[in-house]
Amino acid sequence: MSDEPVEVEVLADGRLVVWSINDSRRLFNTDFYGKPLGNPKPKKDFDEPLILDLVEGVYLLEKKIIMVRAKGRKIVAFSLKKLAREQLDNFDALYQVYRNLREKGFVVTPGIKYGCDFAVYEQGPGIDHAPYIIQVMSREGSMSAAEIVKAGRLASTVRKTFIVALPGKEGVEYLEFKWWKA
């Protein structure tokens, strides 16, 4: 990745967009950040702007990989986190898990199509399939037996391992659910 931060704009709806196609390709092709707009299965030479979600945007801003602007003014990490907290329930927990997984070398993407918080790849989309789907929960939270079964059935249907992430003061703990036939 180049030393020069990529310029990103905050849209009115809170999404982050990289308008430069070269910068979009660099972010996506190097470490699989973002998603090319309207392109569900991008190849290396896509021609669309890149959309970043707020969780990865905060991460990239803190790492000084991107520089964020809103209405022409530079936004610092504190302000972007404030926006993320306004837009996303449970932002701090989501961000702690996202950062933990990224720093362990995983590629982390939104898990909305699996009904969870994150899909996690060992190498990246288009290279391997995401072996894990992650649901971030509070340590004080609970999950009913029916919710566990539902999550497990979905995960096994799409051939993924269902993991509950529990962020806390000492870091993140992960509970992996394995399913087998007797």
Letter string b/e over residues 67-85, b meaning 16 or more CB atoms within 10 A of that residue's CB? ebebeeeebebeebbebbe
Structure tokens at 173: 């703990």
Question: Can you list the alpha helix ranges (DSSP code H) found in the chain?
Answer: 21-31, 54-62, 77-87, 91-103, 145-157
- Other CB atoms within a 10 A radius of the CB of residue 147 amount to 11
- Name the residues annotated as catalytic: 121, 129, 160
